[in-house]
Amino acid sequence: MSGAGAHVAAGLAAGAIDALLAVAIVLVRRASGVVNFAQAALATLSAFGCATLVAHGWRFWPAFAVTVALSFGGGLVLAGALVAPVRRGPVYGWTLLTVGLLLAVNGLDNWIWGPRTRPFAGPFSAHTIRLAGGAVSRRDLGTVVVAGAALVVVAVVGRSKAGLGLRAAAADPGAAHELGLGVGRLGALAWALAAALGAVAGVLAATAHGLDPTLLRSTLLSALAGAFLGGIDSPAGAALGGSTVGVGLELLATYVHGVGSSLRPVAAFAVLLAAILLRPSGLRGRWGRP
């Protein structure tokens, strides 16, 4: 049983990345009523940015901080450039736009960096330490800690004045507008926070698995499953749902013979399907309406 702790830790690390992405998806969904299918692709782009800085001799942490900040700014730009013009359009138009963005960003990654998987040495080694009677890799532990810190930052923002505005604009955009809140700007803030969270997820995933344009492809699916499991409009629920799905899939892949990494997306899809069928609240809200 000495391996169980390591597998749980690996699951928690994968779950932490799922949770970050799930929270990012929920933040955008609440603010704009749209599921941003490009969230994972944007996160991968951020990871490439960070890897490029490191390749140019930057130390990891400054590169990481700059990447997160640039991604935040990129989220603002994206909200201004893409979201504002189509805000009054139908939701399916938006949704198609995010799928298009996913493919476009993916193509851009391939064009600039190529499809080859490159190693990305993060700040945490793969060496194990003994923790609670089991052997846990430093990288898994570091991933959980960094992701947890990012989620704490988002929770703190959520309790600030800006966070109150974000929640109000999400709960009732019309009433928030009448109160004098800048609903458009708050929406842009949500996109920016989501992009920053995605950057953290992308960099953490790249340091664990190496970096290529398909880095977070199956993570998108498990993050969506986690977001729906948590009730698509609750960031806290998404964090919990995302980590649960991540841990579950990791343990499934470890202990159920035949479920390797290839079948991970299939399992994630099954969870997503179950979440949508069993948690109809996940479909309530603007996404499901014509």
What is the end-to-end Cα distance of the chain in Å, rounded? 51
Is the CB of residue 139 less than 8 Å from the CB of residue 207?
A: yes
Which residues sit at the interface with other proteins, rule CB under 8 A?
A: 161, 164-165, 167-168, 171-172, 175-182
**Can you tell me which residue has the tokens 């109150």?**
164
Buried b (16+ CB within 10 A) or exposed e, 164-185: ebbbbbbeebeebeeeebebbe
User: Which tokens is 269 given?
Assistant: 């899809």
Measured CA to CA, the distance from residue 109 to residue 44 in angstroms comes to: 8
- Closer CB to other proteins, residue 180 or residue 258? 180
User: Which tokens is 114 given?
Assistant: 């190529």
Among 42, 4, 9, smallest CA distance to 200 is for: 42
- Closer CB to other proteins, residue 93 or residue 182? 182
Measured CA to CA, the distance from residue 258 to residue 256 in angstroms comes to: 6
Minimum distance between the CB of residue 284 and other proteins, rounded to whole angstroms?
Answer: 14
- Closer CB to other proteins, residue 118 or residue 159? 159
Minimum distance between the CB of residue 177 and other proteins, rounded to whole angstroms?
Answer: 6
H helix and E strand count, the chain: 12, 2
Minimum distance between the CB of residue 182 and other proteins, rounded to whole angstroms?
Answer: 6
- Closer CB to other proteins, residue 231 or residue 248? 231
Minimum distance between the CB of residue 287 and other proteins, rounded to whole angstroms?
Answer: 19
User: Which tokens is 265 given?
Assistant: 């997306």
Strand partners, 211: 118
Minimum distance between the CB of residue 173 and other proteins, rounded to whole angstroms?
Answer: 12
- Closer CB to other proteins, residue 11 or residue 231? 231
User: Which tokens is 161 given?
Assistant: 């004045």
- Closer CB to other proteins, residue 77 or residue 171? 171
Minimum distance between the CB of residue 164 and other proteins, rounded to whole angstroms?
Answer: 6
- Closer CB to other proteins, residue 126 or residue 172? 172
Minimum distance between the CB of residue 276 and other proteins, rounded to whole angstroms?
Answer: 23
Give how far the C-alpha of residue 106 lies from the chain's centroid of Cα atoms, to the nearest Å. 16
**Can you tell me which residue has the tokens 């947890």?**
148
Minimum distance between the CB of residue 24 and other proteins, rounded to whole angstroms?
Answer: 22
Q: Which helix (H) or strand (E) holds 134?
A: strand 134-137
Among 163, 153, 148, smallest CA distance to 201 is for: 148
- Closer CB to other proteins, residue 168 or residue 259? 168
